[in-house]
Amino acid sequence: MADTTSVVLHSLPTDSHHCNTGRVYGNDFADPDQPPGSGLLDEVADAERELRARNAQDVGAGDAGAGSDYFAALVAADQKIEPRDWMPDGYRATLIRQMAQHAHSEIIGMQPEANWITRAPSLKRKAILLAKVQDEAGHGLYLYAATETLGVSRDALYELLLGGKQKYSSIFNYPTLTWADIGAIGWLVDGAAIVNQVPLCRCSYGPYARAMIRICKEESFHQRQGFEILHTLAHGTPQQKAMAQDAVDRWWYPSLAMFGPPDTDSTHSAQSMAWKIKRFSNDDLRQRFVDMCAQQATVLGLTLPDPDLRWNPERGAYDYTPPDYAELMEVIRGNGPCNRQRMAHHRAAHEDGAWVREAASAYAAKRAARAAAPQPSELTHV
Ligand SMILES: [Fe+2]
Ligand SMILES: [Fe+2]
Protein backbone atom coordinates (compact mmCIF):
# COMPACT_ATOMS: atom_id res chain seq x y z
CA MET A 1 0.00 0.00 0.00
CA ALA A 2 2.86 2.39 0.88
CA ASP A 3 4.37 1.76 -2.55
CA THR A 4 1.11 2.51 -4.32
CA THR A 5 0.71 5.72 -2.35
CA SER A 6 4.19 6.93 -3.17
CA VAL A 7 3.67 6.19 -6.87
CA VAL A 8 0.44 8.17 -6.83
CA LEU A 9 2.04 11.10 -5.06
CA HIS A 10 5.16 11.16 -7.18
CA SER A 11 3.14 11.07 -10.38
CA LEU A 12 1.74 14.51 -9.63
CA PRO A 13 3.11 17.09 -12.04
CA THR A 14 6.09 19.05 -10.78
CA ASP A 15 4.47 22.42 -11.44
CA SER A 16 2.34 21.79 -8.38
CA HIS A 17 5.16 20.93 -6.02
CA HIS A 18 3.10 22.26 -3.10
CA CYS A 19 0.78 19.26 -3.53
CA ASN A 20 3.21 17.02 -1.85
CA THR A 21 4.28 19.25 1.00
CA GLY A 22 2.62 20.13 4.24
CA ARG A 23 1.40 23.42 2.81
CA VAL A 24 -1.75 22.90 0.84
CA TYR A 25 -1.87 19.24 -0.01
CA GLY A 26 -4.70 17.22 1.48
CA ASN A 27 -5.51 17.72 5.11
CA ASP A 28 -1.88 18.34 5.95
CA PHE A 29 -2.79 21.94 5.19
CA ALA A 30 -1.02 24.38 7.43
CA ASP A 31 -0.94 28.13 7.35
CA PRO A 32 2.42 28.99 5.72
CA ASP A 33 2.84 31.82 8.24
CA GLN A 34 2.57 29.41 11.15
CA PRO A 35 5.45 27.24 12.39
CA PRO A 36 5.62 23.67 11.01
CA GLY A 37 3.48 21.18 12.88
CA SER A 38 0.23 23.18 12.87
CA GLY A 39 -1.62 21.08 10.25
CA LEU A 40 -4.73 19.05 10.94
CA LEU A 41 -2.87 15.74 11.16
CA ASP A 42 -0.44 17.33 13.61
CA GLU A 43 -3.45 18.21 15.73
CA VAL A 44 -4.57 14.58 15.66
CA ALA A 45 -1.10 13.47 16.77
CA ASP A 46 -1.13 16.11 19.55
CA ALA A 47 -4.55 14.91 20.71
CA GLU A 48 -3.28 11.33 20.85
CA ARG A 49 -0.23 12.34 22.90
CA GLU A 50 -2.41 14.42 25.21
CA LEU A 51 -4.82 11.51 25.67
CA ARG A 52 -2.01 9.22 26.79
CA ALA A 53 -0.46 11.83 29.07
CA ARG A 54 -3.79 12.74 30.71
CA ASN A 55 -4.56 9.07 31.32
CA ALA A 56 -1.33 8.75 33.24
CA GLN A 57 -2.08 11.76 35.44
CA ASP A 58 -3.80 11.65 38.79
CA VAL A 59 -5.89 14.80 38.98
CA GLY A 60 -7.41 13.88 42.31
CA ALA A 61 -10.85 13.70 40.73
CA GLY A 62 -11.52 10.58 42.76
CA ASP A 63 -11.53 12.71 45.93
CA ALA A 64 -14.04 15.17 44.55
CA GLY A 65 -17.01 13.13 45.71
CA ALA A 66 -19.52 11.05 43.85
CA GLY A 67 -21.67 11.83 40.84
CA SER A 68 -21.75 15.28 39.43
CA ASP A 69 -18.71 16.58 41.36
CA TYR A 70 -16.56 13.80 40.01
CA PHE A 71 -17.86 14.33 36.47
CA ALA A 72 -17.23 18.10 36.68
CA ALA A 73 -13.71 17.53 38.04
CA LEU A 74 -12.85 15.15 35.20
CA VAL A 75 -14.18 17.55 32.54
CA ALA A 76 -12.38 20.52 34.13
CA ALA A 77 -9.11 18.53 34.16
CA ASP A 78 -9.55 17.58 30.47
CA GLN A 79 -9.56 13.93 31.45
CA LYS A 80 -11.86 11.50 29.70
CA ILE A 81 -15.25 10.34 30.92
CA GLU A 82 -15.37 6.56 30.61
CA PRO A 83 -18.44 4.31 30.19
CA ARG A 84 -18.70 3.31 33.86
CA ASP A 85 -18.33 6.88 35.16
CA TRP A 86 -21.39 8.74 36.34
CA MET A 87 -22.59 11.22 33.73
CA PRO A 88 -25.60 13.56 33.46
CA ASP A 89 -28.54 12.10 31.54
CA GLY A 90 -28.31 14.97 29.06
CA TYR A 91 -24.63 14.26 28.42
CA ARG A 92 -25.41 10.62 27.69
CA ALA A 93 -28.38 11.50 25.46
CA THR A 94 -26.38 14.11 23.55
CA LEU A 95 -23.56 11.66 22.91
CA ILE A 96 -25.94 8.90 21.80
CA ARG A 97 -27.63 11.29 19.36
CA GLN A 98 -24.36 12.68 17.99
CA MET A 99 -22.38 9.43 17.84
CA ALA A 100 -25.27 7.45 16.34
CA GLN A 101 -25.82 10.13 13.70
CA HIS A 102 -22.11 9.97 12.97
CA ALA A 103 -22.17 6.15 12.69
CA HIS A 104 -25.25 6.25 10.42
CA SER A 105 -23.52 8.83 8.20
CA GLU A 106 -20.51 6.58 7.72
CA ILE A 107 -22.75 3.71 6.61
CA ILE A 108 -25.17 5.67 4.42
CA GLY A 109 -22.19 7.57 2.99
CA MET A 110 -21.01 4.33 1.38
CA GLN A 111 -23.94 4.46 -1.07
CA PRO A 112 -23.13 7.46 -3.28
CA GLU A 113 -19.54 6.26 -3.70
CA ALA A 114 -20.38 2.58 -4.16
CA ASN A 115 -22.38 3.83 -7.16
CA TRP A 116 -19.05 4.26 -8.99
CA ILE A 117 -17.12 1.14 -7.93
CA THR A 118 -18.22 -0.84 -10.99
CA ARG A 119 -17.55 2.12 -13.30
CA ALA A 120 -14.22 3.38 -11.95
CA PRO A 121 -12.04 4.28 -14.95
CA SER A 122 -9.18 1.86 -14.14
CA LEU A 123 -8.31 -1.11 -11.94
CA LYS A 124 -6.17 1.18 -9.77
CA ARG A 125 -9.05 3.61 -9.25
CA LYS A 126 -11.41 0.73 -8.48
CA ALA A 127 -9.03 -0.73 -5.87
CA ILE A 128 -8.57 2.67 -4.19
CA LEU A 129 -12.30 3.39 -4.14
CA LEU A 130 -13.08 -0.08 -2.77
CA ALA A 131 -10.57 0.46 0.03
CA LYS A 132 -12.08 3.84 0.83
CA VAL A 133 -15.67 2.55 0.94
CA GLN A 134 -14.55 -0.34 3.16
CA ASP A 135 -12.90 2.20 5.47
CA GLU A 136 -16.26 3.94 5.83
CA ALA A 137 -17.86 0.64 6.89
CA GLY A 138 -15.08 0.33 9.48
CA HIS A 139 -15.76 3.87 10.74
CA GLY A 140 -19.41 2.93 11.17
CA LEU A 141 -18.34 -0.15 13.12
CA TYR A 142 -16.04 1.78 15.50
CA LEU A 143 -18.73 4.38 16.09
CA TYR A 144 -21.59 1.92 16.67
CA ALA A 145 -19.33 0.04 19.09
CA ALA A 146 -18.40 3.30 20.88
CA THR A 147 -22.11 4.28 21.08
CA GLU A 148 -22.97 0.89 22.59
CA THR A 149 -20.73 1.76 25.55
CA LEU A 150 -23.42 4.31 26.50
CA GLY A 151 -25.92 1.52 27.10
CA VAL A 152 -27.78 1.37 23.79
CA SER A 153 -27.63 -1.62 21.44
CA ARG A 154 -26.70 -1.46 17.80
CA ASP A 155 -30.03 -3.07 16.91
CA ALA A 156 -31.85 -0.25 18.69
CA LEU A 157 -29.79 2.36 16.82
CA TYR A 158 -30.58 0.69 13.52
CA GLU A 159 -34.29 0.70 14.38
CA LEU A 160 -34.11 4.42 15.14
CA LEU A 161 -32.44 5.11 11.78
CA LEU A 162 -34.85 2.93 9.82
CA GLY A 163 -37.79 4.50 11.64
CA GLY A 164 -36.59 7.98 10.69
CA LYS A 165 -36.03 8.93 14.36
CA GLN A 166 -32.28 9.41 13.97
CA LYS A 167 -30.59 11.23 11.12
CA TYR A 168 -27.46 10.92 9.04
CA SER A 169 -25.51 13.73 7.40
CA SER A 170 -27.59 15.58 4.81
CA ILE A 171 -24.67 15.56 2.36
CA PHE A 172 -25.30 11.93 1.43
CA ASN A 173 -28.68 12.81 -0.04
CA TYR A 174 -27.04 14.31 -3.12
CA PRO A 175 -26.42 12.17 -6.22
CA THR A 176 -23.04 11.20 -7.71
CA LEU A 177 -23.60 11.99 -11.39
CA THR A 178 -20.09 11.58 -12.84
CA TRP A 179 -16.75 10.00 -11.94
CA ALA A 180 -15.49 13.47 -10.97
CA ASP A 181 -18.02 13.44 -8.12
CA ILE A 182 -15.87 10.79 -6.44
CA GLY A 183 -12.99 13.28 -6.52
CA ALA A 184 -15.19 16.11 -5.25
CA ILE A 185 -16.56 13.93 -2.42
CA GLY A 186 -13.05 12.95 -1.31
CA TRP A 187 -11.71 16.49 -1.47
CA LEU A 188 -14.70 18.41 -0.15
CA VAL A 189 -16.90 15.99 1.81
CA ASP A 190 -14.11 14.02 3.48
CA GLY A 191 -12.25 17.33 3.82
CA ALA A 192 -15.18 18.92 5.68
CA ALA A 193 -15.56 15.77 7.77
CA ILE A 194 -11.93 15.99 8.87
CA VAL A 195 -12.23 19.65 9.85
CA ASN A 196 -15.29 18.69 11.91
CA GLN A 197 -13.71 15.59 13.40
CA VAL A 198 -10.19 16.67 14.34
CA PRO A 199 -11.51 18.66 17.35
CA LEU A 200 -13.55 15.56 18.35
CA CYS A 201 -10.23 13.78 19.00
CA ARG A 202 -10.27 15.91 22.19
CA CYS A 203 -13.90 15.17 23.03
CA SER A 204 -14.48 14.55 26.74
CA TYR A 205 -15.97 11.06 26.18
CA GLY A 206 -13.09 8.57 25.99
CA PRO A 207 -14.47 5.96 23.54
CA TYR A 208 -15.54 8.67 21.08
CA ALA A 209 -12.22 10.54 21.28
CA ARG A 210 -10.21 7.36 20.75
CA ALA A 211 -12.36 6.30 17.77
CA MET A 212 -11.93 9.74 16.22
CA ILE A 213 -8.14 9.61 16.39
CA ARG A 214 -8.12 6.47 14.28
CA ILE A 215 -10.84 7.70 11.94
CA CYS A 216 -9.11 11.04 11.27
CA LYS A 217 -5.94 9.27 10.23
CA GLU A 218 -7.92 7.22 7.72
CA GLU A 219 -9.92 10.22 6.51
CA SER A 220 -6.61 11.80 5.59
CA PHE A 221 -6.19 9.13 2.90
CA HIS A 222 -9.74 9.72 1.68
CA GLN A 223 -9.22 13.40 1.22
CA ARG A 224 -5.93 12.87 -0.59
CA GLN A 225 -7.43 10.38 -3.02
CA GLY A 226 -10.23 12.83 -3.85
CA PHE A 227 -7.77 15.66 -4.34
CA GLU A 228 -5.64 13.48 -6.59
CA ILE A 229 -8.61 12.42 -8.75
CA LEU A 230 -9.58 16.06 -9.26
CA HIS A 231 -5.98 17.09 -9.89
CA THR A 232 -5.63 14.44 -12.59
CA LEU A 233 -8.90 15.45 -14.27
CA ALA A 234 -8.15 19.17 -13.99
CA HIS A 235 -4.84 18.59 -15.79
CA GLY A 236 -6.34 16.28 -18.43
CA THR A 237 -8.41 17.09 -21.50
CA PRO A 238 -10.69 20.18 -21.57
CA GLN A 239 -13.68 17.82 -21.16
CA GLN A 240 -12.13 16.19 -18.10
CA LYS A 241 -11.37 19.56 -16.59
CA ALA A 242 -14.95 20.71 -17.24
CA MET A 243 -16.25 17.55 -15.56
CA ALA A 244 -14.07 18.23 -12.49
CA GLN A 245 -15.26 21.85 -12.36
CA ASP A 246 -18.90 20.80 -12.66
CA ALA A 247 -18.51 18.36 -9.75
CA VAL A 248 -16.89 21.03 -7.55
CA ASP A 249 -19.66 23.49 -8.50
CA ARG A 250 -22.32 21.01 -7.34
CA TRP A 251 -20.59 19.81 -4.13
CA TRP A 252 -19.23 23.10 -2.75
CA TYR A 253 -22.34 24.49 -1.04
CA PRO A 254 -23.66 21.13 0.26
CA SER A 255 -20.17 20.64 1.78
CA LEU A 256 -20.33 24.05 3.46
CA ALA A 257 -23.72 23.04 4.85
CA MET A 258 -22.11 19.99 6.53
CA PHE A 259 -21.03 22.27 9.38
CA GLY A 260 -24.68 22.71 10.32
CA PRO A 261 -26.80 25.79 10.84
CA PRO A 262 -25.15 29.13 11.63
CA ASP A 263 -24.13 29.71 15.25
CA THR A 264 -27.13 31.98 15.81
CA ASP A 265 -29.49 29.04 15.07
CA SER A 266 -27.48 26.15 16.49
CA THR A 267 -29.57 24.56 19.24
CA HIS A 268 -27.11 22.13 20.83
CA SER A 269 -23.89 24.10 20.77
CA ALA A 270 -23.60 25.93 24.11
CA GLN A 271 -24.19 22.89 26.31
CA SER A 272 -22.00 20.67 24.12
CA MET A 273 -19.18 23.21 24.43
CA ALA A 274 -19.56 23.30 28.24
CA TRP A 275 -19.34 19.49 28.35
CA LYS A 276 -16.30 19.62 26.06
CA ILE A 277 -17.99 17.38 23.50
CA LYS A 278 -17.74 20.19 20.97
CA ARG A 279 -14.72 22.50 20.91
CA PHE A 280 -15.44 25.02 18.15
CA SER A 281 -18.60 26.60 16.82
CA ASN A 282 -20.18 25.61 13.47
CA ASP A 283 -19.19 28.93 11.88
CA ASP A 284 -15.58 28.74 13.14
CA LEU A 285 -15.17 25.29 11.63
CA ARG A 286 -16.85 26.37 8.37
CA GLN A 287 -14.43 29.30 8.12
CA ARG A 288 -11.46 27.01 8.66
CA PHE A 289 -12.70 24.75 5.86
CA VAL A 290 -13.19 27.67 3.46
CA ASP A 291 -9.67 28.97 4.17
CA MET A 292 -8.23 25.50 3.52
CA CYS A 293 -10.14 24.90 0.27
CA ALA A 294 -9.57 28.37 -1.20
CA GLN A 295 -5.84 27.70 -1.38
CA GLN A 296 -6.15 24.07 -2.44
CA ALA A 297 -8.48 25.05 -5.34
CA THR A 298 -5.66 27.19 -6.73
CA VAL A 299 -3.35 24.18 -6.74
CA LEU A 300 -6.03 22.10 -8.45
CA GLY A 301 -6.54 24.78 -11.10
CA LEU A 302 -10.28 24.79 -10.33
CA THR A 303 -12.59 27.56 -9.16
CA LEU A 304 -14.89 27.52 -6.17
CA PRO A 305 -18.35 28.66 -7.29
CA ASP A 306 -18.46 31.80 -5.19
CA PRO A 307 -17.83 35.18 -6.85
CA ASP A 308 -17.53 36.81 -3.43
CA LEU A 309 -14.78 34.52 -2.20
CA ARG A 310 -11.79 36.70 -1.39
CA TRP A 311 -9.05 37.10 1.20
CA ASN A 312 -9.87 39.60 3.89
CA PRO A 313 -6.57 40.83 5.38
CA GLU A 314 -8.31 42.49 8.31
CA ARG A 315 -9.99 39.28 9.44
CA GLY A 316 -7.06 37.13 8.34
CA ALA A 317 -9.57 34.82 6.62
CA TYR A 318 -11.55 34.44 3.40
CA ASP A 319 -14.90 36.17 3.01
CA TYR A 320 -17.41 33.81 1.43
CA THR A 321 -21.09 33.31 0.61
CA PRO A 322 -22.74 31.03 3.17
CA PRO A 323 -24.71 28.00 1.99
CA ASP A 324 -28.48 28.08 1.56
CA TYR A 325 -29.63 27.04 5.04
CA ALA A 326 -33.25 26.75 3.89
CA GLU A 327 -32.12 24.03 1.46
CA LEU A 328 -30.21 22.32 4.29
CA MET A 329 -33.36 22.24 6.44
CA GLU A 330 -35.37 20.80 3.54
CA VAL A 331 -32.83 18.01 3.04
CA ILE A 332 -32.80 17.31 6.80
CA ARG A 333 -36.61 17.10 6.70
CA GLY A 334 -36.27 14.29 4.13
CA ASN A 335 -36.81 16.21 0.92
CA GLY A 336 -33.32 16.11 -0.61
CA PRO A 337 -32.72 14.63 -4.06
CA CYS A 338 -31.90 11.11 -2.78
CA ASN A 339 -33.33 10.79 0.79
CA ARG A 340 -35.94 8.17 -0.14
CA GLN A 341 -33.54 6.22 -2.35
CA ARG A 342 -30.87 6.07 0.38
CA MET A 343 -33.25 4.82 3.05
CA ALA A 344 -34.94 2.31 0.72
CA HIS A 345 -31.55 0.88 -0.24
CA HIS A 346 -30.44 0.72 3.39
CA ARG A 347 -33.66 -0.99 4.46
CA ALA A 348 -33.36 -3.57 1.65
CA ALA A 349 -29.71 -4.27 2.53
CA HIS A 350 -30.67 -4.68 6.20
CA GLU A 351 -33.42 -7.15 5.33
CA ASP A 352 -31.23 -9.04 2.84
CA GLY A 353 -28.58 -9.39 5.54
CA ALA A 354 -30.92 -10.91 8.14
CA TRP A 355 -29.69 -14.45 7.39
CA VAL A 356 -26.06 -13.36 7.94
CA ARG A 357 -26.90 -11.97 11.38
CA GLU A 358 -28.83 -15.13 12.26
CA ALA A 359 -25.98 -17.37 11.10
CA ALA A 360 -23.39 -15.31 12.99
CA SER A 361 -25.49 -15.44 16.19
CA ALA A 362 -26.01 -19.21 15.84
CA TYR A 363 -22.27 -19.72 15.30
CA ALA A 364 -21.39 -17.56 18.32
CA ALA A 365 -23.89 -19.49 20.48
CA LYS A 366 -22.45 -22.82 19.30
CA ARG A 367 -18.90 -21.71 20.10
CA ALA A 368 -19.94 -20.45 23.53
CA ALA A 369 -21.72 -23.75 24.27
CA ARG A 370 -18.67 -25.69 23.13
CA ALA A 371 -16.38 -23.60 25.32
CA ALA A 372 -18.64 -24.14 28.33
CA ALA A 373 -18.90 -27.94 27.81
CA PRO A 374 -16.36 -30.18 29.58
CA GLN A 375 -13.33 -30.98 27.45
CA PRO A 376 -12.71 -34.66 26.45
CA SER A 377 -9.60 -34.84 28.70
CA GLU A 378 -11.70 -33.71 31.68
CA LEU A 379 -14.29 -36.38 30.88
CA THR A 380 -11.75 -39.17 31.04
CA HIS A 381 -10.94 -38.20 34.64
CA VAL A 382 -14.58 -38.37 35.75
FE1 LIG B 1 -15.44 8.02 7.39
FE1 LIG C 1 -14.07 9.20 4.59
CA of 133 to the centre of ligand 1 (A): 8
What is the distance between the terminal CA atoms of the chain, rounded to a whole angstrom? 54
| Average pLDDT over every residue of 165-177 | 93
CA of 21 to the centre of ligand 2 (A): 21
CA atoms within 13 A on the CB side of 141: 7
Closest ligand to residue 189's CA: 2
pLDDT band at 73 (very low <50, low <70, confident <90, very high): confident
Amino acid making up residue 147: T
pLDDT band at 23 (very low <50, low <70, confident <90, very high): very low
Number of residues in the chain:
382
Question: Which pLDDT does position 64 carry in this prediction?
Answer: 52
User: What one-character-per-residue DSSP string does 79-121 give?
Assistant: PPB-TTS---HHHHHHHHHHHHHHHHHHHHTHHHHHTTTTT-S
Q: How many angstroms separate the Cα of 286 from the Cα of each of 280, 319, 329, 378?
A: 10, 11, 17, 65
Within 10 angstroms of residue 348's Cβ, the number of other Cβ atoms is: 10
| Average pLDDT over every residue of 372-381 | 70
Within 10 angstroms of residue 132's Cβ, the number of other Cβ atoms is: 22
| Of 43-57, 120-134, 257-271, 286-300, minimum mean pLDDT range | 43-57
CA distance 209 to 225: 25
Q: Look at residues 166, 182, 190 and name the one whose alpha carbon lies nearest to residue 346.
A: 166
pTM of structure: 0.84
CA of 136 to the centre of ligand 2 (A): 6
Compute the Cα dihedral for 113, 118, 121, 123 and give only its sign.
positive
CA of 312 to the centre of ligand 2 (A): 31
pLDDT band at 56 (very low <50, low <70, confident <90, very high): low
Return the H-helix or E-strand segment holding 45. Answer: helix 40-56
Listed in sequence order, the residues at least 6 apart from 166 whose beta carbon sits closer than 8 Å to its beta carbon are 97, 100, 101, 104, 157, 160
CA of 62 to the centre of ligand 1 (A): 36
User: What one-character-per-residue DSSP string does 203-252 give?
Assistant: -SBHHHHHHHHHHHHHHHHHHHHHHHHHHHHHTS-HHHHHHHHHHHHHHH
| Average pLDDT over every residue of 368-381 | 76
CA of 34 to the centre of ligand 2 (A): 27
CA of 130 to the centre of ligand 2 (A): 12
Instruction: Please return the burial class of 265, using the count of CB atoms within 10 Å of its CB with bins 0-12, 13-18 and 19+.
Output: exposed
Report whether pLDDT(375) > 90. Answer: no
CA of 198 to the centre of ligand 1 (A): 12
CA of 135 to the centre of ligand 1 (A): 7
CA distance 189 to 229: 14
Average pLDDT in the chain: 86
CA distance 209 to 78: 12
- Angle (deg, nearest 10), helices 354-372 and 339-352: 40
CA of 235 to the centre of ligand 2 (A): 24
Question: Which pLDDT does position 8 carry in this prediction?
Answer: 44
Residues near ion ligand 1 (Cβ under 5 Å): 106, 136, 139
CA of 376 to the centre of ligand 1 (A): 47
CA of 28 to the centre of ligand 1 (A): 17
Report whether pLDDT(16) > 60. Answer: no
Within 10 angstroms of residue 246's Cβ, the number of other Cβ atoms is: 16
Residues 337, 173 contacting (CB under 8 angstroms): yes
